Amino acid sequence: MIYGLTAAVMWGVAAVTATFAVRRAGTFITLVVGQGVGIVILLVMFAVRHPSFAGVNGGDFLALIGTGLIGLVGYLTFYKALELGPIGLVSAIGATYGGVTAILAFVLLSERLGLAGTTGVALSVIGVTLAAARSSREPEAVSIPAGEPAAPIAPPRTASDQAHGRAGIPFALASALSYGFGGFLLGYFSGRFGWFETTFVARSAAMVALLAAVPFFGRPSTWRGTGTGIAWAVAAGVTDVFGVLAFARGGAAGQVAITAAVSSVYPAIPLVAGLALFGERFSRRQGVGVGLIILGLVLLGGAAS
């Protein structure tokens, strides 16, 4: 539970800082900088801990590399969703990864889900459906770009505003699935090989993949980052890697479903930030959907604990 809560706080702050970063520096640059900072922190810890990989064979290394690549897809889609859509709505949808991980742990690891957990998953699914469904009569949630001041009275919503708000939803859904599968594998392998060893190999594989992609996505034309954007990306990388380490440590210490479910309540922080810092507001339907998602995640966390 403690590790899950720690991960939730770290990831909540990481979502806010990443939102500032992606809207100034773009998704790819934010991802490279954030992951790079995370690797530096892990290398320092590696030098201090001197971890052993004696029990990890070639097949295990491939599995850990695959875990890192799945997680990288989650980061890429989540950051893109933050760039395009409202942070509160995107984070709420993305946080349903906890339900995906819990279901996988229930099916594959025989971890108990129970009535409350099942109800939580069902409410989260209904909430995502309401939040993501298209309505021609209700305006979409709009997020004011991070570089602009939030007005107390939001400007009228145009068709382009609505399209901008909705554009992040498919990426948020993709991130929930990627994070869900990646989180399950991270927790499972942490129990087998150790939380630090698993995190180190997985994140190293993701960083190598990012560096290999630089010639294709890191062209000068894609560099629109400012010093401020890079600074926010560094902050996102620091908070995120500590969230991942807490998540992995929880997977090694207890049930995977517990850590995943408790950590997935992190959207509370981005929701507050969205209202206070980004001038976001939701339609009634989206508000109900987000509320059901949060309620479902709370039930899931309570059931897992």
pLDDT truncated to tens, each residue of the chain (305 aa)?
688 888 889 999 999 999 999 999 889 899 999 999 999 999 999 999 988 888 889 899 999 999 999 999 999 999 999 999 889 889 889 888 878 887 888 888 777 767 887 888 888 888 888 877 665 454 445 454 444 444 333 333 444 445 555 788 899 999 999 999 998 998 889 888 988 999 999 999 999 999 998 887 655 545 555 788 999 999 999 999 999 998 888 767 655 666 776 777 788 888 889 888 888 877 788 888 888 888 887 787 666 55
- Residue 43: inside a domain: no
Quote the DSSP letter at residue 220: G
- Residue 49: inside a domain: no
Quickly count: other Cβ atoms within 10 Å of residue 107's Cβ. 11
pLDDT of residue 138: 47
**279 lies in which domain range?**
2-9+56-72+86-215+241-304
Quote the DSSP letter at residue 54: T
Number of domains making up the chain: 1
pLDDT of residue 165: 59
DSSP 97-113: HHHHHHHHHHHHS----
CA 78 to chain centre: 6
Q: What's the token pair of residue 77?
A: 């889609």
DSSP 270-305: HHHHHHHHS--B--HHHHHHHHHHHHHHHHHHHHH-
- Cα–Cα distance between 73 and 179 in angstroms, integer? 8
- Residue 293: inside a domain: yes
pLDDT of residue 155: 38
- Residue 65: inside a domain: yes
In sequence order, the 6+-apart residues with CB closer than 8 A to the CB of 7 are 243, 244, 246, 247, 250, 259, 262, 263, 266
DSSP-H helix ranges across the chain? 2-25, 27-49, 58-84, 87-94, 97-108, 114-132, 159-193, 195-217, 227-253, 256-263, 268-277, 284-304
- Residue 28: inside a domain: no
